Structure 1
Amino acid sequence: MQKTVWITSLTKDEKKAAALFGKVHTYGLATNGHFWIDDLGKMAWAGAAESLLDPGTAVWLVTGAAEDFAKDSVRRGLSLLALLVAGQRGHGFPTVICPFSGSLDPAGLPTPLRGAQVVTEAALGAKLAALANLPWKPEEAGYRLKLYPLPGLGLWFEVGPAAEATWQGALFGVADAAIDAHGVGPQGKLPERAVLRYPFKDMRLAAGETAYLAWGLANPLTAAESYFVRTVGAPSGLVFGELPTGEAADLYTLSLT
């Protein structure tokens, strides 16, 4: 089966997009893609999810001018889409970023995109061909994190421990957003009802210069169970993990901008 490169173009330039599609085709790869819609309120970033989750899609290519990658709302949307893909297909999904003007420092990208390979236009074709044809194995993580962008029901996050691990309670916090609902249930499905043990809301946390509002509970979670949280707005950062029991908190933090 011919491998497909899904192309996200942050700049709506049909002539440049057509040229890029043609270049990728010369390497024996199929192409598909879209022009980015910058609308966090309508969760427009999720429009590409189905195509990126298709087993035939081997590489995700994001292109645009360097200034496109600097826009806060674009960075949040790309981060959320990257997290959605990681949650369904595994961490480290082959991703390439190619600025067609200016330059990008990979270390300055949001956390979900820091594993992407930043390349120049001259090196793009060979890099895509290599990634598409090499076997890819998801990277291991100490947690599970999935996203559910549901029109009419909001943006839900699902978190829980990795296989063979157990959390004694869970905490989930957001920066520059809010939380308005939470629950516990079997992984992979939003719970219709749940019994919550010692739930709490709007705990204030700080990591470096980032402030978070967190919700949590004391329900024990295995790899078969998850903590589900609905956010109001698209967060600029996340903090989550097992509910801390002492002064030291061993939590995961992700910057989405």
Structure 2
Amino acid sequence: MALPKAMLCILGNQPGVGAPEEVLLRAAGFATATIRWEEVAAQQRGWMQLMPILNDASLQAWVFAGRPADITEELLSQVSMLTLGMSRPTPPVTAFVLLGSGEEPAFPDLLDHVRVFHGNASFAPRLAAARLKPMCMLPRPFHIRAHVDPFIGQWLEIGPLENETWDGFMAGVVDAEVTAFGIGLRGNLPQKSVLHHPQSGIKGEWGDLRFSACAAKNSMTSDMACYMRVEGCPRIVFITGYQDENRAQEMEKGIRHLDLF
């Protein structure tokens, strides 16, 4: 019988292949592959290359090991995008093993399923047990999925929840930039798109943060989605009603958002 697989991502300057965390995962029954995150991040869109590995149903544990300071906002945004991009029903058991002292990072609701261990003493057997239990994911405020690929970049698929209809929309990201958008059926980026009263390059401020957004007056049902190409590491993804001069002040009232870090 094939062993369950684990992917160990080493952060910072911790030891790589042969790391204590790798040894412990193997002892707990995982066939473990180890990568250094800084080597992945050094390649252009290198982190996106992990998507096919994460979609493999036999991968049952995804582990990061490093100091608390190594868990940056950029890393959490990328982990969130990869989590949103998985086509499997639930992500593998995901864990951060914190080595050394430092403040534990805050994880967004999207990563509520992530387990945090201080030191590596007992994390591996606990992950082996956790993979056999059903995983509960918090509900999301709207349909959202990521499409990440080294060749096409990162796209967010955003649409109505089941049995919901939108009469136009404005969708955007905080601390990143929307560089293109279109509308199509859920599941695949559309080859062409007909947009009603489109607005692109929308800029603004959300408190002390800056956002970038797009908008269109298309009516959308739950089998449709807006596809946004995003540059950078988005902090927040949001959706609200179509904004025109008469509704410019209503954005805060009807906004729904999801934090990525």
Q: Is residue 236 from structure 1 mapped to residue 228 from structure 2 by the alignment?
A: no
Contact 1:212 1:239 in 2 (8 A): no
Count of matched residue positions in the alignment of Structure 1 and Structure 2: 251
Query: Counterparts in 2 of 1:86-165, with a 5 A limit?
Result: 88-90=87-89, 94-106=93-105, 108-110=106-108, 112-120=110-118, 121-165=120-164
Give distance in 2, aligned partners of 1:135 and 1:208.
38
2:57 equivalent in structure 1: 55
State the distance in 1 between where 2:16 and 2:203 align: 48
Q: Which whole-Å CA distance do the structure 1 matches of 2:162 and 2:33 have between them? A: 34
Give the corresponding residue for 1:82.
83
Is the 8 Å Cα contact of residues 140 and 258 (structure 2) preserved in structure 1?
no
CA shift digits 1:150-179 (9 cap, x unpaired):
344332211112222222223221233322
The corresponding residue for 2:192 is 193
What's the TM-score once normalised by structure 1's chain length?
Answer: 0.84
Structure-to-structure mapping, 1:200-215, within 5 angstroms: 200-215=199-214
Output the aligned Cα RMSD: 2.7
**1:40 & 1:182 partners in 2: Cα distance?**
28
Separation in 1 of the partners of 2:78 and 2:21?
Answer: 23
For 2:192, give the aligned amino acid. R
Aligned match of 1:65 = 67
Deviation at 1:40, TM superposition (A): 7.8
Secondary structure at 1:74's aligned position in 2?
A: helix
AA at the equivalent of 1:22: V
Q: Matched residues in 2 for 1:155 and 1:124: separation?
A: 32
CA distance in 2, matches of 1:242, 1:201: 15
Q: Is the 8 A contact 2:5 2:30 kept in 1?
A: yes
Distance 1:7 1:41 in 2: 18
Of 199-208 and 23-32, the range deviating more from structure 2: 199-208
Match of 1:46 in 2: 48
Q: Please give the per-residue CA displacement for 1:96-133, whole angstroms capped at 9, x wherever unaligned.
A: 11112224435x23554343111121231232112122
Equivalent pair of 2:110/2:138 in contact (CA under 8 Å): no
**Distance verdict in 2 for CA 1:25–1:40, change over 3 Å:** closer
Matches of 2:6 and 2:181 in 1, distance apart? 36
Q: Counterparts of 1:26 and 1:161 in 2: how far apart (Å)?
A: 45
Partner of 1:250 in structure 2?
255
Higher mean displacement: 25-34 or 109-118: 109-118
Deviation for aligned residue 1:253 = 3.5
- Shift in CA distance, 226/69, structure 1 to aligned 2, threshold 3 Å: same
**Deviation string for 1:21-64 (max 9, x for gaps)?**
22112222322232113638821111221111111112211111
Aligned residues of 1:183 and 1:194 also touching (Cα < 8 A): yes
More divergent stretch after superposition (37-46 vs 247-256): 37-46
Q: How far, CA to CA, are the matches of 1:41 and 1:174 in structure 2?
A: 24
Q: Name the CA shift for 1:176/1:137 in 2 (closer, same or farther; >3 Å).
A: closer
**Alpha-carbon spacing, 1:242–1:73, altered in 2? closer, same or farther (3 Å):** closer
Q: Encode CA deviations 1:162-209: one digit per residue, 9 max, x unaligned.
A: 222222223221233322211111111111111101211233344332
Residue type at the aligned position of 2:123: L
Using the aligned pairs only, state the percent identity.
22
Q: Is the 8 A contact 2:46 2:150 kept in 1?
A: no
Is 2:168 aligned against 1:174?
no
Cα gap change, 1:84 to 1:151, in 2 (>3 Å): same
Distance (Å, rounded) in 1 between the aligned partners of 2:165 and 2:208: 30
* Structure 2 gaps, min length 5: none
| Aligned mates of 1:130, 1:240 — CA distance in 2 | 36
1:75 positional shift:
3.5
Distance between the aligned counterparts of 1:76 and 1:8, measured in 2? 15
Q: Distance in 1 between matches of 2:206 and 2:258?
A: 8
